[in-house]
Structure 1
Amino acid sequence: MTGERTVLVTGATGRVGGQVVAQLAEVGGVRVRALSRDPAAASAALGPRVEVVGGDLTMPGTLAAALDGVDAVFLVFPSVAADGAARESVDMLSRRARRIVYLSAHGVPDEPDQRAEPDGGIIASHAHLEGLIAASASEYTFLRASGFAANTLAWAGQIGRSDVLRWFSPDARRALVHEADLAAVGVRALTEDGHHRMAYHLTGPEQLTQVEQLAAIGDALNRSLRFEEIGAAEAGAELFPGLPGVVVAAIVAGHAAMVAHPEPVTDTVARLTGRPALPFAQWARDHIDDFTKPAG
């Protein structure tokens, strides 16, 4: 894309969307607009350099004003919860914006069935969105993220209280990706040509077990943290008391599978940004405050 353009960022106050907003603000010739269900709160969080417009992806009829004059959209969709509104929302985005960059997930098939309906699972939800976008958008890019490094913030409560983390699958090996790297690739796809119809598998630069991830957090905090393994039944009761048993079982099984079959590592971030992907240790240092702030 050439010339001055307007980019709409959804999920702008979230971790990835917030990084997209911050990085877009440093790109010349780009007007950054954020979509929010609470424009006042989003304006306070994002500051005066960002135009905030009200709207809700679960209510497609509220999106028209936010899309006025928009050239590209960074789409973070509320997966599963808003699947019923996905078709109408994507249709609205595709008709009003030339380009959509969608934050998807690794595991979506390369050629998702555009007619398939979601089945209540995360991957199926992402596949549904990808199919809708591919069928309607003039230009699109899919960011198929590996596990987010920020998922380890689920440990923050325990780490704040103790040096012992009670969790499952200590030897599950993951290639967790820093949200700043997801955003860096997203910004390029939003503002450069050459990314149409691409599905980028984005990972961190290394595979680490959950024990090694915990050690990296401990190093950042200058503490010695210890991993205490628990089983599926304990995980459901202690860690995910509000989730259905079948969902907890799927989470635990997914991590167990990564013991024998670790998440793969790709060089996509380095290839597209010209610098190595950020290691998990850097992510841990960047998030010291998240592990030390008092529980509220």
Structure 2
Amino acid sequence: MIVVTGATGNVGRALVGQLAAARVPVRGLTRDPARAHLPEGAETARLDPAAGAASLAPLFTGASGLFLHLHAVGERGRHTAALLEAARAGGVRHVVVLSSSIIGEGADESHPIHIAHSALESAVRDAGFDWTFLRPGAFATNSLQWAPQTRAGDTVRGPFAGAVTAPVHEADIAAVAARAFLDDGHVGAAHRLSGPDAVTTEEQIHAIGAALGRTLRFVDIPPEEVGPELFPHVPPQMLPAILASFAAAVGSRPEITTTVEDVTGSPARTFEEWARDHKDDFRA
């Protein structure tokens, strides 16, 4: 049994679906099971991270693996210890952590994303579990932030048109997570994940337009004009650090890895494929 936190999120839902399709017992944890609508074959259970280790332990009954998402342990990781204690009591031995590529040699250890994910990795390592860390770079799903604008018209406003990333499809992150649980050789590995190509923010908008059969125009705006409404997935206190990261990515050469293909045997999906997979999200 694999327990998946964040089961209704982008990566978690993809992982639950892939495991269920492979007939691997999987239990998706969510704060609202009634609205989860997880794939057939998956169990659904309610996660209240503040409930304490004793109350959380039954969620892990019969489980050998845990997919751990930062959001499952609460703000600033305040419920990490309790959740890991419950997982151990339930029999979990292997934890696969959804971390971040910001962790690595020469990283800015003061960046809030680094601080949060480094603490989560350390907690799992120090608790004595077998572990695998997944460190993806830019998520392709971050582009869903533009959906309100594409639903309203053909002009998208945002900062840093020339910021370059190698966005990774959530299904590819999930596929690597599944192999980490099911195959030998991943314990103690820190897998760095990316998409196959470097693309600018403006190129992403054009790819979304192509998937919709429309011509979208990107209007570059100064970062000082950016409000939280343009980055709804980013906590407001983290927005300045995120904007600084985008500024640094203008004209950059992002890290591109072959990890997805190395681990799964299939090449990483392109951003154009992601846009086609998500075109309905961008329609009114």
- Secondary structure of 1:201 counterpart: strand
Given the superposition, is the C-alpha separation of residues 197 and 231 from structure 1 closer, same or farther in structure 2, using an over 3 Å criterion? same
TM-score by length of 1: 0.87
Q: Which structure 1 residue ranges, 5 or more long, are not aligned?
A: 1-5, 113-117
Task: Name 1:139's counterpart in structure 2.
Answer: 130
> Match for 1:71 among 59, 64, 83?
64
- Deviations 1:40-89, CA, capped at 9 Å, x for gaps: 222xx114411112222343433211111111111112176151112232
* 2:32 maps to 1:38: yes
The equivalent of 2:230 in structure 1 is 239
Shift of 1:108: 1.5
Structure 2: how far apart are the matches of 1:103 and 1:224?
35
- For structure 1, which segment, 85-94 or 134-143, has the greater mean C-alpha deviation from structure 2 after superposition? 85-94
Q: For the aligned residues, what is the CA RMSD?
A: 2.5
Letter in 1 for 2:15: V
In 2, Cα distance between equivalents of 1:275 and 1:241: 32
Give the paired residue count: 280
**TM-score, with normalisation over the residues of structure 2?**
0.90
Of 249, 254, 278, 2:240 maps to 249
Aligned to 1:50: 42
The CA distance in 2 between the partners of 1:166 and 1:287, in whole Å, is 20
CA shift in 2, pair 1:268/1:147, >3 Å: same
Residue of structure 1 in register with 2:13 after alignment? 18
Q: Give the counterpart of 1:101 among 85, 88, 96.
A: 96
Taking the TM superposition and a 5 Å limit, the aligned residue runs for 1:201-216 are 201-216=192-207
CA change 1:128–1:266 in 2 (3 A) is: same
**Quick one: which amino acid aligns to residue 35 of structure 1?**
L
Aligned to 2:82: 88
Asked if the contact 2:132–2:189 (Cα under 8 Å) also holds between the matched residues in 1, the reply is yes
Equivalence for 1:115:
none
Give CA deviations for 1:149-198 in whole Å, capped at 9, x if unaligned.
00000000011112111100000000000000000000001111210010
Counterpart Cα distance in 1 of 2:232 and 2:135:
29
Aligned partners of 1:58 and 1:86 also within 8 Å: no
| Cα separation, 1, equivalents of 2:201 and 2:249 | 10
Task: Identify if the C-alpha distance between structure 1 residues 223 and 273 changes in structure 2 by more than 3 Å, giving closer, same or farther.
Answer: same
The aligned amino acid for 1:56 is D
Residues 290/243 of structure 1: CA separation in 2 closer, same or farther (3 Å cut): closer
C-alpha separation in 2, matches of 1:237 and 1:60: 33
The one-letter code of the counterpart of 2:69 is: V
Indicate how the Cα distance of structure 1 residues 190 and 221 shifts in structure 2: closer, same or farther if over 3 A, else same: same
Asked whether the 8 Å contact 1:73–1:101 carries over to 2, the reply is yes
1:3-39 per-residue CA deviation (whole Å, 9 max, x = no partner) reads xxx11111111110111011101224x2111112222
After superposition, the C-alpha distances for 1:82-132 in whole angstroms (9 at most, x for unaligned) are 5111223223324430111111110114799xxxxx989222110000001
Unaligned 5+ runs, structure 2: none
2:116 maps to 125
Q: Distance in 2 between matches of 1:278 and 1:39?
A: 30
Q: Is the 8 Å Cα contact of residues 176 and 263 (structure 2) preserved in structure 1? A: yes
Q: How far, CA to CA, are the matches of 1:57 and 1:81 in structure 2?
A: 10
Which amino acid is the alignment partner of residue 125 of structure 1? Answer: A
Check whether the contact 1:94–1:137 (CA below 8 A) recurs between aligned residues.
Answer: no
